[in-house]
Structure 1
Amino acid sequence: MRLTIRLVLLAIALNAGSFLQAQNKVLIIGIDGCRPDGLLAAKTPNLDKIWENGAYSFSAQTDPISSSGICWTAMLTGVWHEKHNVLTNEYKDPNIGEYPHFYRRVKEQKPDLKLYSIVNWSPIHKILQKGDADIVNYLLSDEKVTQRVVDLLQNDNPDAVFVQLDEVDGAGHRYDYVPESSEYLKAIEKADELVGSMITAIKRRELIKKENWLILVSTDHGGSKKGHGKDIPEHTTIFFIANGNDVQKGKIKQQVNVVDVAVTALEHLGIESEEDWNLDGKVIGIR
């Protein structure tokens, strides 16, 4: 009788332990062409709440070839252009065999995880290989991208979601990337509203108490005079924001780079970067 009681108590303890162990998940939001000084100048209550209660850097650095294809690839592979070999927005001959999208790393070690990439600017997906993501969406507005993300967060069970919003970059190209441009700031403020919708969708998830979400928000490049692509501070200085239970809150004192995003996401998903992957990024902002 005593043995039976002990076994029952042990089973309860084990079940309680597994219940308390939250499942790690990650949401990466990339706001294309959003300069850090523009973000700080705009009215962005949702993003302010994320960085003020998280880890942040407004002096992070992107690839010196500050064009979208090169920089998004750096973010998602964890290596600079010398390795991933994406040198233009045409994505000619990307070296994804040796330096694949970080989703490939995830699938190799945890094939059952559900991974999603939902973007406005579709060339980002040229480095995805078959089986890397459970769903890939090519959508034509940030609003539609957000609607799809919110629906996914409310009605599915994703483990990692990458989101790219494009219209801030469009406003930069059309009006200018400087904080003095009211139209540029309006575009950033609209992006903030969309980010708020995504964060709200996470908070309303039925399983949220059993989940441990890491929110990463960054950008691919800055800009000036309606353009970008130069190795100058206005183009290469970006922001990095991390929010979640495992985040070390406050300003990040060490140098942050765009290649750190993928490596940090991998770490949170329980995948330690292997030495032979030869990644340039590092884990940043989390314990």
Structure 2
Amino acid sequence: MKLSIYTLTFLFAGIFLMPFQTEAQEKKTLFIILDGIQRELLIKNPTPNMDEIISEGGYFPAHVGGAKGGYSETPTISAVGYNSLLTGVWVNKHNVKGNSIRRPNYNYWTIFRHFKENYPNKTTAVYSTWLDNRTKLVGENLEATGHLQLDYHFDGLEVDTLGYPHDDKSEYIKKIDQEVAAYAAKDISRKAPDLTWVYLQYTDDMGHRFGASPEMDLAIQEADRQVGLIWSAIKEREKEFDEDWMIAITTDHGRGEGGFHHGGQSDEERATWIISNQSFNEIASNIPGIVDLFPTIANYMHIEIPKNQAMEVDGVSLWGEAYASHLKGTLNGNLLNLNWKDYGSGEKAKIWVTPTNQFRYGNSDLYRLLGETDLAKETVELDLKMKYDNLKVVLELPEGFINVWLKNQE
């Protein structure tokens, strides 16, 4: 792995996270989750295919787990991380708290649902070593997701215990990963879905069984070979059909001491990474979160997000112009203090607040506009003239939003 970094009536109005531009090339996006690969082992191992992708775009240290100790603190568990990518929000919103996926809050739409709402005639695909990714997280054909339909999928092999008999060394998962990657590469080469998710599991199994070990090293190298199949199909499509692809590769969590387990909030468990063939903006150099991939894909693919939904997104786009990120704040009595990271745009942002959280129930929140602030100041103090126990604060940027939930400390 190379360590180079190439480096309120308005609520239902539609917005573009990025202004639409007429382009000759058709844009397509594919994202891959390689389960449970800690940052240091990815860097240590030879990964020539991912290195080639990095050479076209970049490698970025990233994180999962939400705000440590805060309202959005999120378990570093697999399905929880997948859903944070799919929805662009942390667990306090999407409500997937573990791998059982008991009660997802489908009011927080996945990137697939937004994409199909915008482009019903374009195609989507999921190729996965875990069936629940499509049936529960994406929620295909569920009433709660508007009976969302994907165009292509290849998954569920793990429930075929006759064709793939389970063994205590996870060789069946290794075989399934290989078949999923090969099938995905073949479909990409022939059908080129417009928005695709590939999920591969074997690395996580090796981590749980052997920790940081030669077995885990070999699993990472095998995952790179599988990425290479998909990357070759993308390059072929770009060459033969003049398409413009974004590939984004990440992992869902790090690992604790010894590289065995995860789920907690240690720095090692929260530490992840993102790789892409696209040149990301300055925000990507400030330890982005897995939630940032949702708005990144939305910007790249020109997906229109309704304003009331965009105000809930916890991530910020890594593609396109950077305005602000890392919104934090305190609420003490009537006083609201906010701070953020500015990226030199010279623009202003509107400040919206609401004490309610009706969106989670499928309703709308009534926001109060407090005014505007210069992003370059990176801080503002406001007298609210009244006390709120809890407050959702949203900065409306020239393109997109950033938000934070605050609890009154008085």
TM-score category (smaller protein): 0.7 to 0.9
Contact 1:60/1:258 (8 A) holds in 2 = yes
Residue 209 of structure 2 aligns to a residue whose secondary structure is helix
Deviations 1:218-257 (Å, cap 9, x if unpaired)? 011111342111111111110011213xx24899322300
Q: Structure 2: how far apart are the matches of 1:132 and 1:235? A: 34
Partner of residue 155, structure 1: 190
User: Cα 1:214–1:266, aligned 2, differ >3 Å: closer, same or farther?
Assistant: same
After alignment, is 167-176 or 46-55 more displaced? 46-55
Partner of residue 143, structure 1: 178
Amino acid at match of 2:223: A
Contact 1:54/1:249 (8 A) holds in 2 = no
Amino acid at match of 1:240: I
Give 1:135 shift.
2.4
Matched, 1:235 2:238: no
Gaps of 5+ in 2: 1-21, 67-73, 142-147, 159-175, 322-410
Contact 1:25/1:214 (8 A) holds in 2 = yes
Q: Structure 2: how far apart are the matches of 1:118 and 1:106? A: 17
Amino acid at match of 2:37: C
Normalised by the length of structure 1, the TM-score is: 0.85
Q: Structure 2: how far apart are the matches of 1:70 and 1:251? A: 23
Partner of residue 85, structure 1: 95
Partner of residue 218, structure 1: 250
Deviations 1:69-95 (Å, cap 9, x if unpaired)? 111110111110000011111111110
Q: Structure 1: how far apart are the matches of 2:102 and 2:236? A: 41
Matched, 1:134 2:169: no
Q: Count the aligned residue pairs.
A: 263
Flag the structure with higher helix content: 1
Partner of residue 252, structure 1: 284
Residue 273 of structure 1 aligns to a residue whose secondary structure is strand
User: Cα 1:251–1:51, aligned 2, differ >3 Å: closer, same or farther?
Assistant: farther
Partner of residue 393, structure 2: none
Deviations 1:150-194 (Å, cap 9, x if unpaired)? 110111131011000100101101100x3xx11111100100011
Amino acid at match of 2:132: P
Q: Percent identity?
A: 29
Q: Structure 1: how far apart are the matches of 2:204 and 2:52? A: 23
After alignment, is 53-62 or 144-153 more displaced? 53-62
Amino acid at match of 1:72: Y
Residue 136 of structure 1 aligns to a residue whose secondary structure is strand
Deviations 1:49-104 (Å, cap 9, x if unpaired)? 212331331243344300111111101111100000111111111101x1122100
- Structure 1 runs of 4+ aligned residues shifted over 6 Å read none
After alignment, is 213-222 or 277-286 more displaced? 277-286
After alignment, is 163-172 or 52-61 more displaced? 52-61
Q: Structure 1: how far apart are the matches of 2:284 and 2:84? A: 20
User: Cα 1:216–1:87, aligned 2, differ >3 Å: closer, same or farther?
Assistant: same
Matches for 1:16-27 after TM superposition, within 5 Å? 21-27=24-30
Normalised by the length of structure 2, the TM-score is: 0.61
Amino acid at match of 2:128: V
Of 31, 35, 39 in structure 2, the residue corresponding to residue 32 of structure 1 is: 35
Of 50, 54, 78 in structure 1, the residue corresponding to residue 53 of structure 2 is: 50
Q: Structure 1: how far apart are the matches of 2:286 and 2:82? A: 22
Contact 2:64/2:252 (8 A) holds in 1 = no
Give 1:25 shift.
0.3
Of 237, 250, 273 in structure 2, the residue corresponding to residue 205 of structure 1 is: 237
Residue 96 of structure 2 aligns to a residue whose secondary structure is coil
Contact 1:55/1:285 (8 A) holds in 2 = no
Flag the structure with higher strand content: 2
Contact 1:172/1:184 (8 A) holds in 2 = yes
User: Cα 1:207–1:274, aligned 2, differ >3 Å: closer, same or farther?
Assistant: farther
Contact 1:70/1:89 (8 A) holds in 2 = yes
Contact 1:79/1:280 (8 A) holds in 2 = yes
Amino acid at match of 1:51: I
Partner of residue 129, structure 2: 120
Q: Structure 2: how far apart are the matches of 1:77 and 1:237? A: 20
Gaps of 5+ in 1: 1-17
Q: Structure 2: how far apart are the matches of 1:122 and 1:269? A: 26
Residue 205 of structure 1 aligns to a residue whose secondary structure is helix
After alignment, is 257-266 or 186-195 more displaced? 257-266
User: Cα 1:279–1:122, aligned 2, differ >3 Å: closer, same or farther?
Assistant: same
Structure whose CA Rg is larger = 2
